[in-house]
Amino acid sequence: MSPVIKKKGERFTLPSKYLLFILTLLCTAMMLVTFGTDAFDKPLNTVVGYIIVPFQRGIEKAGSWLSDRSDEFGQVKDLLEENARLKEELAALTEENTLLQQDKYELNELRALFAMDEQYGEYNKVGARIIGRDTGNWYSTFIIDKGENEGLSVDMNVIAEGGLVGRITSVGPTWAKVTSVISDNSSVSGMTLSTGDNLMVLGDLKLMATGCITFSQLLDGKNAVKEGDKVVTSDISDKYLPNILIGYISSINKDPNNLTKSGLLVPAVDFEHLGEVLVITDLKQAVTE
């Protein structure tokens, strides 16, 4: 038999049945090595340690961060809702407190007017609320919500907590204008309560910035009038009923004629804060008669 001569350029080929047999043997050997030994454990553990574990840790941190942010967003939402509720409650409490303060203020005013009503119990009176006033810090002239329909007329005296406020100078069906004793054009015949000496109380709005008005023509020959003495309306006043408190003497000065004295007087009424007043419906002329 002549030998088979391989020609140059031909590739070596392994029959398929031999290749399958070899691969089967290799797979069987690797399975035996894998189940029977730990030869591949360390390389696999190394791969897992360097790749899988850090990746897993990253996923866990990301999940934890997202969970925390979700909790925070939930807390922020709850806080915003609670804040809105608290604001509503605060607004309601503020409104309620304001109403209570207003009611307390009005109650105190009514109590003061009730005390004035008892103090001047010999006179008939009508309560009224101030509904308007001239510009400025002081209630020098103002409008009340009562008028001719309630029997009011010009020259009726007006009082409030403390004493004399002024008198009605004009009147309509449902309103009346009051000119107070602190107005620049106001003059009231008064007398010192302790000595009965007569004087003239004059309004002065500029001077009211110091809390005072002026008085003049005080006849005090015995020097008996002192600072702090009460001044009331006198019996000789043509428009004001007698013995209504006007204020308190603050300072006394001798006039250049050396016969009379003048000075400053602190009004008994707080002319910066007025809300309710009492109108005395008795007129001076009617009482005098």
**Number of compact structural domains in the chain:** 2
Q: Which of 124, 246, 242, 131 is nearest to 177 (CA)?
A: 131
Instruction: Report which of residues 146 and 92 the model is more confident about.
Output: 146
- 81 and 195: one domain? no
pTM of the model: 0.63
pLDDT tens per residue, range 199-257: 999 999 999 999 999 999 998 878 899 999 999 999 999 899 999 999 999 999 999 99
- So what's the pLDDT on residue 52? 59
- 88 and 160: one domain? no
Last residue of a domain, one of 80, 101, 119: 119
- 86 and 173: one domain? no
- 140 and 112: one domain? no
- 186 and 211: one domain? yes
Helix, strand or coil, per DSSP, at residue 141: strand
Last residue of a domain, one of 104, 119, 134: 119
- Separation of alpha carbons 85 and 89, rounded Å: 6
Instruction: Report which of residues 39 and 149 the model is more confident about.
Output: 149
pLDDT tens per residue, range 143-187: 999 999 999 999 999 999 889 999 999 999 999 999 999 999 899
Residue 139 lies in a domain: yes
- The average pLDDT across 105-125 equals 72
Residue 28 lies in a domain: no
- So what's the pLDDT on residue 32? 67
Residue 11 lies in a domain: no
Last residue of a domain, one of 53, 87, 119: 119
Write out the residue range of the structural domain in which residue 185 sits: 125-288
pLDDT tens per residue, range 156-168: 999 998 899 999 9
Radius of gyration, alpha carbons of the chain: 52
Residue 17 lies in a domain: no
- 163 and 220: one domain? yes
The terminus-to-terminus CA distance of the chain in angstroms comes to: 177
- The average pLDDT across 27-53 equals 60
CATH of residue 273: 2.40.10.340
Q: What percent of the chain has pLDDT over 90?
A: 48
pLDDT tens per residue, range 241-289: 999 999 999 999 999 998 999 999 999 999 998 989 999 999 987 554 4
Helix, strand or coil, per DSSP, at residue 57: helix
